[in-house]
């Protein structure tokens, strides 16, 4: 039995701690926030317990399903027939089905056929290696042509990735398309899932399992430094105190690594500093009535600087209608420096534009939150740019959501990587 420290109480860190305890190790989880969950954490929003940032479950999220089964809460999983829309040329339109594509205005028939072929074959493709070195813009243009790229893809890319758009991995974009594309009941019907009780249900269950198994979760306890001596982990320093541990697994965002683990080789520290991330300001709205019939409404409008609106209550039925309006921005973007109220007011204007029947009185509550490291930017050959999860320090592993490239952020992928890290280091705790 070894004494482990896990840094970070997001899904990856909690899954890692749970697996280590299952192996018989001792575990302490250190979390800088005062709540568990990271981007899956919930809060009280005008009397409604809800996640700060939206999540959904896909049909291929097998590691998540296995975790639900282990924790005895698989009966909380619900599947819903959902719809996707597109706000384009000032109107809401259906999207996400062959018929919606064929009837979509402003596109030539050839552009529609080429887009459909890309979407279809992306769900069938299994090997991503040939896409790893290709940039996403060239790949999409090769399938959809200039017209398809310009009308359907470029507005969304520019608002999600900004100046990073020309240097994104095609493998990464393909993986995002495949995950949602494979979550269908049939060709005409998308089907997504949610947990009864939201992500809180999983967080509560796994935290209970960790604490029942003898693990400790220390909230409001950021790790100030991972202690290393002669190439071997000795423990961590938190709140000014040193805590001895045989091994440390870090799941905090990789940009924090140089500050917290300064004794890594200089080349590794420089690689961590070079990683790029997009921040997000997410406006959460509770309304008297729905904005649209869609769970995800893509937005392509020159007067709106958002890539979409997520109407969460069209997935998870709630007493009120709840939606998320995300603004993805580089940290140094001028808009990111604006106040939360600035984003709230802009969102109110967008709601009126999307649904002309909307009035201010429809809003029951509205507020904005933000997250600095919301979205890693994965360029071509991204794995070559990432330092290895085993940095060559005995008893240390380092990872975050970037490390399951080409897959995008999801609770399921975080669980899978957390379990993998625990099995790797836990089975070789003397290595």
CATH 3.90.660.10 describes domain 276-376: yes
pLDDT recorded at residue 430? 60
Task: Give the CA distances from residue 378 to residues 91, 139, 170, 258, 261, in Å, rounded to whole numbers and listed in that order.
Answer: 33, 15, 9, 19, 23
Q: Kindly provide the b/e burial profile for residues 206-219, where b requires at least 16 CB atoms within 10 angstroms of the residue's own CB.
A: bbebbeebebebbe
What does the radius of gyration of the chain's CA atoms come to, in whole angstroms? 22
Task: Report d(CA 17, CA 35) in Å as an integer.
Answer: 16
d(CA 36, CA 203): 7
Whole-angstrom Cα distance, residue 337 to residue 373? 15
Per the model's pLDDT, the better-predicted residue between 135 and 431 turns out to be 135
Q: Which helix (H) or strand (E) holds 235?
A: strand 232-238
Q: How far apart are CA 349 and CA 363, in angstroms?
A: 12
Q: Where residue 187 falls among pLDDT bands split at 50, 70, 90?
A: confident
The arithmetic mean of pLDDT across residues 94-107, rounded, is 92
Alpha-carbon distance of 379 to 399, in angstroms, equals 18
Q: Does the structure show a pLDDT above 80 at 352?
A: yes
Partner residues linked to 227 by β-bridges:
235
- Nearest 5°: the CA angle 98, 103, 105 is 130
For the chain, give percent helix, strand, coil, nearest 5. 40, 30, 30
Q: What is the pLDDT of residues 16-67, one digit of tens each?
A: 999 999 999 999 999 999 999 999 999 999 999 999 999 999 999 999 999 9
- Segment 171-182, tens digit of pLDDT: 999 999 999 999
Sheet (strand 296-300) strand order: 91-95, 84-88, 296-300, 308-310, 321-329, 277-287, 363-376
Give yes or no for a contact between 313 and 364, defined as CB atoms under 8 angstroms apart.
Answer: no
pTM for this entry: 0.95
Alpha helix positions (H), 306-410: 340-354, 382-385
Q: Is the pLDDT of residue 431 over 50?
A: no
CB 4 within 8 A of CB 25: yes
Cα 121 to Cα 126, 205, 248, 431, distances in angstroms: 10, 38, 41, 43
Predicted pLDDT at 186: 85
Phi-psi sector, 286: left (phi>0), alpha (psi -120 to 50), beta? beta
Mean pLDDT value across residues 260-288:
95
The sheet carrying 184-186 orders its strands as: 77-82, 189-195, 184-186
Q: Chain-wide mean pLDDT for the chain?
A: 95
User: Between β-strands 396-398 and 308-310, what pairing exists: parallel, antiparallel or unpaired?
Assistant: unpaired
Task: Give percent of the chain with pLDDT exceeding 70.
Answer: 99
Q: Is the peptide bond before 406 cis (omega within 30 degrees of 0)?
A: yes
**CATH architecture entry for 3-79+198-275+385-426:** 3-Layer(bba) Sandwich (3.50)
Tell me the average pLDDT across 342-364: 95
Q: Taking the domains of the chain in order of start, what are their residue ranges?
A: 3-79+198-275+385-426, 98-184, 276-376
């Amino acid at each position: 039995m070894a004494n482990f420290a896990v840094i970070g109480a997001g899904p990856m860190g909690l899954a890692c701690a749970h697996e280590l305890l299952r192996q018989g190790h001792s575990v302490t989880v250190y979390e800088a926030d005062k709540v568990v969950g990271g981007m899956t954490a919930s809060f009280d929003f005008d009397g409604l317990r809800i996640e700060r940032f939206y999540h959904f479950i896909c049909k291929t999220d097998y590691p998540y399903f296995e975790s639900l089964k282990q924790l005895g809460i698989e009966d909380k999983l619900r599947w819903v027939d959902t719809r996707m829309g597109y706000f384009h040329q000032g109107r809401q339109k259906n999207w996400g089905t062959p018929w919606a594509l064929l009837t979509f205005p402003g596109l030539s028939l050839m552009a529609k056929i080429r887009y459909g072929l890309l979407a279809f074959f992306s769900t069938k493709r299994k090997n991503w290696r040939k896409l790893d070195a290709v940039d996403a813009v060239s790949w999409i243009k090769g399938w959809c042509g200039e017209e398809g790229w310009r009308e359907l893809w470029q507005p969304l890319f520019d608002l999600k990735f900004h100046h990073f758009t020309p240097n994104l991995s095609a493998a990464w974009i393909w993986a995002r398309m495949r995950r949602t594309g494979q979550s269908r009941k049939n060709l005409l019907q998308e089907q997504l899932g949610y947990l009864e009780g939201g992500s809180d249900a999983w967080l509560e269950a796994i935290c209970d399992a960790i604490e029942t198994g003898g693990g400790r979760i220390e909230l409001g306890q950021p790790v100030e430094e991972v202690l290393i001596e002669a190439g071997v982990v000795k423990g961590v320093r938190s709140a000014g105190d040193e805590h001895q541990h045989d091994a440390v697994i870090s799941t905090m965002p990789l940009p924090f690594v140089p500050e917290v683990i300064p004794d890594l080789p200089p080349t590794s520290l420089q690689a961590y500093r070079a990683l790029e991330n997009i921040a997000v300001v997410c406006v959460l709205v509770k309304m008297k009535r729905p904005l649209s019939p869609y769970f995800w409404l893509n937005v392509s409008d020159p007067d709106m600087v958002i890539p979409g609106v997520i109407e969460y209550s069209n997935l998870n039925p709630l007493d009120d209608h709840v939606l998320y309006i995300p603004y993805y921005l580089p940290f140094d973007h001028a808009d990111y420096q604006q106040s939360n109220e600035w984003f709230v007011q802009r969102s109110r204007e967008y709601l009126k534009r999307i649904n002309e029947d909307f009035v201010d009185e429809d809003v029951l509550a509205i507020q904005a939150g933000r997250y600095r490291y919301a979205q890693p930017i994965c360029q071509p050959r991204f794995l070559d740019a990432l330092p290895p999860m085993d940095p060559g320090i005995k008893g240390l592993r380092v990872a975050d959501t970037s490390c399951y490239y080409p897959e995008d952020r999801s609770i399921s992928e975080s669980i899978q990587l957390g379990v993998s890290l625990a099995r790797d280091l836990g089975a070789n705790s003397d290595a």
